[in-house]
Amino acid sequence: MPSERLLCLEFDVSRATICHALDLLEEEGLIEHRQGVPTSAKPLEALLCDLFHHQSGSVMFAAMKQVVPPLLC
């Protein structure tokens, strides 16, 4: 993922805005963002497993059972 400085330049926003956006993405579990370590997106398999386990009581769960192989999680 690009550095915070590059994201500021690309989107023409302040570093505070970029930091806030990254914090929100981290809260959602979509990225791993730590000081001194490059920010990285969570692997797709991990995101699918999280969704699979957190949505077990919903309509989404029925759809996910068709998509996510049981052994993946």
Over the stretch 21-52, which tens digit does the pLDDT of each residue have?
988 888 887 888 777 888 888 777 777 777 66
Provide the whole-model pTM. 0.59
pLDDT of residue 5: 92
How many helices and strands, by DSSP H and E, does the chain display? 4, 2
Cβ atoms within 10 Å, residue 55: 14
Structure tokens at 71: 């052994």
Q: What angle do CA 53, 32, 69 make, to 5 degrees?
A: 30
Where are the domains positioned within the chain? Answer: 4-41, 43-73
Distance CA 51, CA 64 (A): 8
